[in-house]
Structure 1
Amino acid sequence: MTTASPVQLVTILDELTATPGCDNALIFTDDGLLTAASSGLERADAERLAAALSSEQSLAPAVAKLCIGTEELAWRRTIIDFGPHTVLLMTAGANTSIGVSIQGSMTGDAFALVASVALKQVKRLAEQLGTAGRPT
């Protein structure tokens, strides 16, 4: 049940991309539908990225089997480090995630700054970012 309007979400994402080192950001549902994208992303690109990022996130339950223990583990974050660029995926509310493109590696200062800003915004807006799951 997303309560923030698409315009509000774009504004929030644009504020995030104004952080030094942040290129683009998007919010998407766990089943790959685009909710909102920063102004720097074309709509068609953002829709493809939402689908791809949700696919990446969907691998987490299988990968969690690598962890010792039998308890159910909930996915929270994935970091994809390309060297000169890093992508941070994280849960942003019920059935909703955020993807953020950051300049530099995951050990760089830009990553630390952008990740911190993104986490603060997600915590502040988590209730507004949730969406109802699709009926099965």
Structure 2
Amino acid sequence: MNNDIIDVSSDEQRAEGLKAWGWVSYVLHLIVALGAVIPGAQPGALLLLIALLIDLVKRSDAQGTWQASHFSWRIRTVLWAGVLYIVTAPLWLLFFLPGWLAWCMISLWFLYRIVRGMVAMNQNQALNV
């Protein structure tokens, strides 16, 4: 019976640790997302890379928990945003306005995904990825 108590405590500590790492990652993503939609507030790609590294490293620790979906959610969000920014980059060279509009839409989508993930994590809910 004593082993059961230790296992539950260990699982709770693991869950809280994963949630703490998830919040660190979400906050870093949020800073980058807000910087992308607020003119002149670019915090740089370094924060995004740090958040992505946290998610890639801790993702395997979250396997089998509701939090695994959050790690996948953030990784997919960053990868898709990166692909979309790269694909739409030529629009900046050809036509300023379409490039600017495309990047604004991508940035708003990125911000939406981060906020949606934060709300779900705050409610201890998995995301459909």
TM-score, scaled relative to structure 1: 0.29
Structure having the higher helix fraction is 2
